[in-house]
Amino acid sequence: MKTGAKILTISSVILLLALAGWFFFKFYYVFGEGVKAGELNYMVKKGYIFKTYEGRLIQAGYNSKNERNTIQSNEFKFSVEKQQIADTLMRCTGRQVELHYKEYLGALPWRGVSEFVVDSIISVEKSPQASPVPIF
């Protein structure tokens, strides 16, 4: 093998390894993880090619950046990979939930549109017993 061919082969292997490392770090390295709590606003399965589970959690907060110190809501948009967790969350809409999530540096189309991926449900507040509404 000639010197030019060796240099080209070694450069190609190094470039391929660097691209594989970047791809892993960007899309599969867990940058952070934690717990968010709030009222589950919605949970939906959507997408054109890849059907993914997407949800939104509304967190109550206190805004002290302005003079009025008003109460504001913060949204936590997330994706869910596992169908079992998504099905459970679909039955919990409107309830207070605590969700454990992982944060990635990039979103993959088959994992969801958010960098935040919920991987477990910590707790769900039981809803008060509501009286049945008659259907006419």
pTM of the model: 0.78
Angstrom distance (rounded) from CA 2 to CA 80: 51
Neighbours of 29 (CB within 10 A): 11
Neighbours of 52 (CB within 10 A): 22
Per-residue pLDDT of the chain (136 residues; tens, 9 = 90+): 788 888 999 999 999 999 999 999 999 999 999 999 999 999 999 999 999 999 999 987 765 666 666 666 689 999 999 999 999 999 998 999 999 999 999 999 999 999 999 999 999 987 655 445 444 3
**Sequence-distant (≥ 6) Cβ neighbours of residue 30 within 8 angstroms:** 102, 103, 104
Rounded alpha-carbon distances, angstroms, from residue 13 to 10, 18, 19, 21, 109: 5, 9, 10, 12, 27
Across the strands, what pairs with 124?
97
Angstrom distance (rounded) from CA 102 to CA 110: 16
* Predicted pLDDT of residue 58: 93
Q: Which two tokens stand for residue 32?
A: 């952070």
* Predicted pLDDT of residue 126: 79
* Predicted pLDDT of residue 65: 62
* Predicted pLDDT of residue 63: 59
H, E, C per residue of 35-70: EEEEEEEEEEEECCCCCEEEEEEEEEEECCCCCCCC
